[in-house]
Structure 1
């Protein structure tokens, strides 16, 4: 009899990493039935079915209404964990992840109370754990809708793909009470210090030994035997040569000169890099000073969820040197600020693979694209100077974020420390083609085999 695994899918990255990747195919070929419990669109489901030429059993996640008491409990837990994490790492930037919606007098007072209690709890870890136990009991209580949908699916395993989402915590807590095995993956390389591990699965699949040590540092109550180093499926696609375009087709598609080198400027979202357009303008301006015969071109890929027009003037001003590679993402519904309403089409996966394949280096403010490029032995350049004076943002703050402590050394990427260095460092990055494989292997183990390792570990729990 086939075992049944249910994937909880609620965002575009999970669609890409788990439904588009070979994990989905390999799970099915290993005699598993697969179902989805999701809050994504029908269009996204259609895209996956078309890709794999299968019909997928899918169930919508029941509407989740968080009670006033659970909002307060979760706020206390999050703030207390952030304060604790800040102390154990001696890193003040961790507190930048505390962004409560405190508009209005009532909310402002409420969050001051939450912060006061959270501050006290942060000194006594047992208080945090008791608070979490109360919260989880609240999630289980009065959640008949979740129990009914889980009973309807009747899975042997529930696999959660995003540990940050509150309704997933509800689903997993109900599933654990029903004696269903639960597995969770960590959404991204920068998540664990943020105090948002809301979903406590029976087992965790993590990117690397480094991430395992992080998880156990921030959550010492988790049994280390239940944290499995598998790698992450998000780099799988770079090894699929069926996705590769010829150099000629790629350069023609973006109107690039095939005889010149290409750098990819990978855009960040507005919060991560509020002056991103200024950096792009700086780069284009400096490169235009280089002799035309050796001047590299810029291929600009915006952040998929950045829908602002902030780059328009730069693209128009520097049309001679910048080509645009628009992300191929689909937006569903009216609220385009929410990640679960947007998802990449499979054609965007192909686009990203070929950008990494055919560009010589990537440049940005601290993006994971540095890791993507290193998969195919390409260098990366980080911008490390300030263009605008701001009390709320600086490159110093960005590169002091805790996830950059995973760098084995600072030489795994090239650094541009002032505008005047742009041309020199970019030319050096292109010529040297130094790659940050050392960093990649440190933070993401099993890059080429992660899918197989994940599937084998799922099979262990049949």
Structure 2
């Protein structure tokens, strides 16, 4: 029997692999599919396929020694590649500002990894990390599960969550072949070490394959498959469509006005969101924008809209799209990870992409979402180190986003004047950057959206 184990860690993984066609396609390629879930079993009540089994994994909380070695491994990786701006920025962000015991340990790690950060030393530290939890009760539980199930292949839908390291360790010990999917376009050039050494990898694009081979020189090219990403597959699935009349009616939009969509980051990096939203709303009020437009704001799925209370009170004319993601579990070390989307939210988002005239965001993946619908994109970066705002201009130097800027596919707005000017220009000539957008999409997503799940399932079955 061919039996696939699929490890889904969080709500975004749920969206990408449960709400796409992946499980349906995997069921065609394998005799049975077991979902090993970091979400509660109740989240999967919509799944009716008889050969799909859901098993909820006990959450692994890192012992202190495990944390120490894992942190060492991640920082060593960042140190090794600190010539990349994103890696350097992650190092700066993670350096402690106080002298607590934990902070002193981190400072020690920073010091020692300045000397020891070779691939060989990183792999040695990873062995110590895995050894530190090898007899943990949760690890023993994972051994029991995988010995009972004996999957012929394990697919990790995310390469980074540290609390999955014991599950990978057990799989490797039992010689179960493992594949992971590189979760996001910024993960390789700005994040610390992935959770362990997988047998095989799947990536969005040829570009991402090159990055993976560069940052992980022990990986063999033949073990990396370019498959596209299921993140965008719902945009070509009929069940997530909404017609224009229903969309305008649902959000009480004016059919005579074009739609400007501002999509927020989460509060950790989107601190300037309220400022930018206010600038756009004021420009609409004082008619600085040359056409009749209306503003709809989509907040981050990782949070509610409470931080925008003042903006909502000042500009009641703004339309709000608060993502319909429900919390499935309260007591979790990463509470945000336990939020999953409703089908309604995916339909809302697809409609927003379809019917908006312009996308405005702070260097977000949403830039790609809108480009897939051939919509102009403006990236707002109002903050610097010196002007009192959150320094979001630093993201222009991140390797993954430098490629976006260099492509000419987006307009960068560093202040109010540049933003309003960009809005007027893009409304006047929305097709001006069409070729650049298409080239960037081809660079970042090397495969067609249609058939993404089938492509992934077929590659796993090889």
Contact in 2 for aligned 1:275/1:387 (Cα 8 Å)? no
The 2-side partners of 1:356 and 1:151 are apart by 45
Q: Cα 1:163–1:281, aligned 2, differ >3 Å: closer, same or farther?
A: same
> In the alignment, what sits opposite 2:325?
329
The 2-side partners of 1:58 and 1:245 are apart by 31
Contact in 2 for aligned 1:94/1:401 (Cα 8 Å)? no
Shift of 1:91: 6.4
Q: Cα 1:45–1:455, aligned 2, differ >3 Å: closer, same or farther?
A: same
Shift of 1:307: 2.8
> In the alignment, what sits opposite 1:111?
106
The 2-side partners of 1:228 and 1:38 are apart by 24
> In the alignment, what sits opposite 1:394?
391
> In the alignment, what sits opposite 1:77?
73
> In the alignment, what sits opposite 1:405?
402
Within the alignment, does 1:164 sit opposite 2:160 as a pair? yes
Deviations 1:71-127 (A, max 9, x none): 111111111111111136696324245366x876222222222222222212x3322
The 2-side partners of 1:92 and 1:331 are apart by 34
Shift of 1:410: 4.5
* 2:220 pairs with one of 216, 219, 223: 223
Contact in 1 for aligned 2:272/2:389 (Cα 8 Å)? no
SS in 2 for 1:115: helix
> In the alignment, what sits opposite 2:10?
11
> In the alignment, what sits opposite 1:457?
459
Q: Cα 1:416–1:3, aligned 2, differ >3 Å: closer, same or farther?
A: same
Shifted more, 287-296 versus 265-274: the winner is 287-296
Contact in 1 for aligned 2:85/2:398 (Cα 8 Å)? no
Superposed counterparts of 1:3-402, under 5 Å: 3-47=2-46, 49=47, 56-87=52-83, 92-96=88-92, 98=94, 105-122=100-117, 124-142=118-136, 143-193=139-189, 194-290=191-287, 294-307=291-304, 309-320=306-317, 322-334=318-330, 338-386=335-383, 389=386, 393-402=390-399
Contact in 1 for aligned 2:6/2:156 (Cα 8 Å)? yes
Contact in 2 for aligned 1:408/1:439 (Cα 8 Å)? no
Q: Cα 1:153–1:326, aligned 2, differ >3 Å: closer, same or farther?
A: same
SS in 1 for 2:82: helix
The 1-side partners of 2:300 and 2:344 are apart by 16
SS in 1 for 2:307: coil
Contact in 1 for aligned 2:289/2:423 (Cα 8 Å)? no
Contact in 1 for aligned 2:30/2:461 (Cα 8 Å)? no
The 2-side partners of 1:345 and 1:138 are apart by 39
TM-score by length of 1: 0.91
The 1-side partners of 2:385 and 2:403 are apart by 28
The 1-side partners of 2:91 and 2:164 are apart by 24
> In the alignment, what sits opposite 1:446?
447
* 1:421 pairs with one of 401, 418, 421: 418
SS in 2 for 1:268: coil
SS in 2 for 1:403: helix
Q: Cα 1:290–1:208, aligned 2, differ >3 Å: closer, same or farther?
A: same
Deviations 1:300-349 (A, max 9, x none): 110012235221221222223x1111210001333586232211112211
The 2-side partners of 1:307 and 1:53 are apart by 33
Shift of 1:281: 0.4
Contact in 2 for aligned 1:204/1:228 (Cα 8 Å)? yes
Q: Any unmatched runs of 5+ in structure 1?
A: none
SS in 1 for 2:44: helix
The 1-side partners of 2:231 and 2:457 are apart by 14
Question: RMSD of the TM alignment (CA)?
Answer: 2.4
Q: Cα 1:451–1:179, aligned 2, differ >3 Å: closer, same or farther?
A: same
Q: Cα 1:376–1:299, aligned 2, differ >3 Å: closer, same or farther?
A: same
TM-score by length of 2: 0.91
The 1-side partners of 2:425 and 2:75 are apart by 43
Q: Cα 1:226–1:340, aligned 2, differ >3 Å: closer, same or farther?
A: same
Which runs of 4 or more aligned residues in structure 1 lie more than 6 Å from their structure 2 counterparts after TM superposition? none
Shift of 1:429: 1.9
